[in-house]
């Protein structure tokens, strides 16, 4: 029997699919290559009690992913918002933030930057200063302390399908547990369901905050490749660059050392933050080293 549902947990080639009536099925994709992401709406054939084979993936509204030269890692599908968690301590990677922002802009997603552990006043002030270029670019930067202030996030998550990302140690799990007290129990149950009782950690897990709001939690990120995007996609992913693209002296300007670069002029005038241009250059050199 063929059924329809949504992928609410992913681990390797194992997926937990939830149907509209709340029933859950441990599913595998058909074939060797898996192109299924947490949040996908799928069609699957039931093969046994609470088991099935995914036969088709419905058209996606968005696909948030990262990639290396020969491999794309699907993170979350059908999400409308990205929430990047950074912390006052330990230090966070600005390059990772920029890479995540580019991937979100490519999919026309809204973005929140959550500065956690703001009860550490001195460290929080320094971290907030580091985030100033992103606030200037128009991104919402919110200061929180997950141990006591995560509830302030609920209005920003309402009505959205949000994917929560961040490096390890930023307090992402604390935020999830504050918003969803039963999250740890649910994750243990799903791990057992997918792995026949063996302990495992899901790569991505969809939580339902209410009838119209979902939150997909992902493991800590240490790197975020953008090999699936073109140089033009990455340029456009820096939102404050858009007014200047196409205005360089040379049509094929890479905005590195070329004379007459419109982005360089904008950075020197203060129209765009110099650190954002530095980040773009670092990313473009890494992703397109031979151009």
Residue 255 lies in a domain: yes
User: Could you tell me which residues come within 8 angstroms of residue 25 by beta carbon, excluding any fewer than 6 positions away?
Assistant: 3, 5, 16, 17, 19, 44, 46, 50, 51, 52
Predicted pLDDT of residue 197: 40
State whether residue 247 is helix, strand or coil: coil
> Would the pLDDT of 149 be above 90?
no
Give the pLDDT confidence of 194-212 residue by residue, as tens digits. 654 444 455 899 999 999 9
| CB-count exposure of residue 15 (10 Å: 0-12, 13-18, 19+) | buried
**Do 194 and 113 fall into the same domain?**
yes
Range of the domain at 85: 63-217
The predicted model gives 268-289 an average pLDDT of 96
Quick count: other Cβ atoms within 10 Å of Cβ 152? 12
Assigned token pair, 13: 């080639």
State whether residue 139 is helix, strand or coil: coil
**Do 93 and 181 fall into the same domain?**
yes
Residue pair 47/68 in contact by the 8 Å Cβ criterion: no
Q: What is the CATH number of the domain that holds 42?
A: 2.40.50.140
Residue 224 lies in a domain: no
Mean pLDDT, the chain, whole residue set: 91
**Do 256 and 142 fall into the same domain?**
no
Separation of alpha carbons 7 and 35, rounded Å: 12
**Do 51 and 69 fall into the same domain?**
no
Give the pLDDT confidence of 112-124 residue by residue, as tens digits. 999 999 989 999 9
**Do 164 and 271 fall into the same domain?**
no
Q: Using the structure block, give the residue that is written with the tokens 């033009």.
A: 232
Predicted pLDDT of residue 199: 41
Residue 222 lies in a domain: no
- Residue 193's pLDDT band (cuts 50, 70, 90): low
Maximum Cα–Cα distance across the chain: 66
The predicted model gives 163-184 an average pLDDT of 88
**Do 201 and 94 fall into the same domain?**
yes
Give helix then strand counts, H and E, for the chain.
10, 13
Assigned token pair, 75: 């993170």
Residue 226 lies in a domain: no
**Do 38 and 76 fall into the same domain?**
no
Assigned token pair, 270: 């203060």
Q: Per residue in 154-191, is it b (16+ CB within 10 Å) or e — as a string?
A: eebbeebbbbbbbbeebbbbbbbebbbeebeeebeebb
Separation of alpha carbons 166 and 217, rounded Å: 10
Predicted pLDDT of residue 291: 61
Percent over 90 (pLDDT), the chain: 76
Q: What's the structural domain count of the chain?
A: 3
Residue 225 lies in a domain: no
Separation of alpha carbons 256 and 190, rounded Å: 48
Predicted pLDDT of residue 34: 81
> Would the pLDDT of 283 be above 80?
yes
Predicted pLDDT of residue 65: 96
């Amino acid at each position: 029997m063929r059924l329809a549902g949504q992928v609410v947990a992913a681990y390797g080639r194992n997926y937990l699919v939830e149907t509209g009536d709340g029933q859950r099925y441990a599913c595998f994709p058909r074939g060797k290559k898996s192109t299924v992401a947490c949040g996908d709406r799928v069609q699957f054939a039931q093969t046994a009690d609470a088991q099935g084979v995914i036969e088709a993936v419905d058209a996606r509204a968005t696909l948030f992913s990262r990639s290396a030269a020969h491999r794309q890692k699907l993170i979350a599908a059908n999400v409308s918002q990205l929430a990047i968690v950074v912390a006052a301590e330990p230090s966070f990677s600005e390059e990772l933030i920029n890479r995540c922002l580019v991937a979100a802009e490519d999919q026309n997603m809204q973005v929140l930057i959550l500065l956690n552990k703001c009860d550490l006043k001195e460290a929080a002030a320094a971290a907030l200063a580091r985030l100033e270029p992103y606030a200037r670019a128009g991104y919402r930067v919110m200061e929180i302390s997950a141990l006591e202030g995560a509830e302030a996030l609920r209005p920003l998550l309402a009505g959205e399908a949000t994917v929560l990302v961040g490096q390890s140690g930023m307090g992402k799990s604390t935020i999830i547990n504050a918003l969803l007290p039963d999250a740890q129990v649910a994750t243990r149950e799903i791990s057992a369901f997918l792995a026949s009782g063996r302990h495992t950690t899901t790569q991505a897990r969809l939580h339902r905050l209410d009838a119209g709001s979902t939150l997909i939690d992902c493991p800590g990120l240490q790197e975020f490749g953008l090999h699936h995007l073109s140089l033009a996609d990455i340029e456009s992913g820096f939102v404050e660059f858009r007014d200047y693209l196409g205005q360089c002296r040379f049509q094929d300007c890479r905005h590195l050392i070329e004379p007459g670069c419109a982005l360089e002029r904008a950075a020197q005038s203060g129209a765009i933050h110099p650190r954002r241009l530095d980040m773009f250059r670092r990313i473009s050199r890494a992703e397109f080293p031979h151009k």
